[in-house]
Amino acid sequence: MALLEGKVAIITGAGSGIGRAAAHRFAAEGAKLVLGDKSEAVHDVAREVIAAGGNAIAFTVDAGVEADVETLVRNAMDVHGGLDVAFANAGIIGDMGGIFDIDPAKWAETLRVNLIGPALMVKHAGKAMVDQGRGGAIVLTASVAGLNSGAGPAAYSASKAGVINLARVSAQQLTSSGVRVNGICPGLTETGMTKPTFDYAKDKGVTHKIGQLNPLKRAAQPEELANVALFLASDLASYVNGQAIAVDGGLTSSHPVTRQLLGQTAH
């Protein structure tokens, strides 16, 4: 049996990148999808899923607006009669300023989308799952930038640190409900959000340096993050709860070092 056979799943940020990859992956595993994104491209993704034999409906929404999150949950319940999985994946890079350049309005917007959005998904999808009484899985996209400094600008990093703790707090507050809440922490992944980084590397002829700080020496592809989200959404992760899993090629497995030991002779 497919991993999500007969299950209903919401995915936000589904118009591109990790969300699009997750839509295809979840659908291939039997899920009925309710897709949301601020971009009209989400409708193209739904059509792609349907053309491949899957089941999907799409909505142009802002994942940081409560009424829009409610729309996704309500349609999952009304159209498909239930909700089993919610993947709160939508996010923005947001304010690029440093700590001495804090713009409260720009920070508020970054937090609205990246942190309040997932919190609203926990609120509404979690409540729907609890009321059903059959458990469920909520997956939140955080980032390695939420684990350590150096992987993103200040506002983005702070928002993603909040997502990590949101997963932990939510898992505890949903005790005995059977609803699990976990986060994934992508490292550098080739998506629309990171396109400027990849374009810059191509223009400068230094694509070989992308991902050089992690042991795998490369960036991730969206499908690799979608696979981990699928695991957390499925019953394979039935005893995984309140965790933030780094999917970063090993980037966060070490403190910064000045040299590699591999291939060197110890003295």
pLDDT at 256: 72
- Residue 227 CB neighbours (<10 A): 14
* Alpha helix ranges (H) inside the chain: 17-28, 41-51, 66-80, 104-111, 117-132, 154-173, 195-204, 222-233
pLDDT at 195: 64
Rounded to whole angstroms, the maximal C-alpha distance in the chain is: 68
Q: Give the whole-angstrom CA distance, residue 31 versus residue 36.
A: 15
- Whether 20 has a pLDDT exceeding 80, the answer reads yes
Give the tokens for residue 75: 């349609």
Range of the domain at 217: 8-247
Task: Give the model's confidence band at 33: pLDDT under 50 very low, under 70 low, under 90 confident, else very high.
Answer: very high
Average pLDDT, integer, range 102-116: 97
In a domain, 127, yes or no: yes
pLDDT at 189: 84
pLDDT at 221: 94
pLDDT at 192: 67
pLDDT at 125: 98
- Give the CATH number for residue 96: 3.40.50.720
In a domain, 22, yes or no: yes
Q: Are 179 and 224 within 8 A, CB to CB?
A: no
Average pLDDT, integer, range 88-96: 96
Higher pLDDT residue, 207 or 64? 64
> What is the rounded (10 degree) CA torsion for 60, 62, 63, 67?
-90
- Nearest C-alpha neighbor of 169 from the set 107, 244, 252, 239: 244
pLDDT at 238: 98
- Residue 176 CB neighbours (<10 A): 6
In a domain, 111, yes or no: yes
State the catalytic residues: 156
Q: Are 76 and 53 within 8 A, CB to CB?
A: no
In a domain, 261, yes or no: no
Q: Give the whole-angstrom CA distance, residue 32 versus residue 86.
A: 12
How many structural domains are present in the chain?
1
- Nearest C-alpha neighbor of 157 from the set 173, 167, 143, 170: 143
Residue 178: which region, alpha, beta or left (left: phi > 0; alpha: psi -120 to 50)?
A: left
- Nearest C-alpha neighbor of 88 from the set 101, 104, 72, 109: 72
In a domain, 265, yes or no: no
Task: Give the model's confidence band at 209: pLDDT under 50 very low, under 70 low, under 90 confident, else very high.
Answer: low
Average pLDDT, integer, range 199-221: 77
Give the tokens for residue 210: 């992308």
Task: Give the model's confidence band at 261: pLDDT under 50 very low, under 70 low, under 90 confident, else very high.
Answer: low
Whole-number percent of the chain with pLDDT over 90: 82
- CA angle 208/214/236 to nearest 5° reads 120
In a domain, 221, yes or no: yes
In a domain, 84, yes or no: yes
Q: Give the whole-angstrom CA distance, residue 247 versus residue 54.
A: 27
Q: Are 39 and 59 within 8 A, CB to CB?
A: no
In a domain, 252, yes or no: no
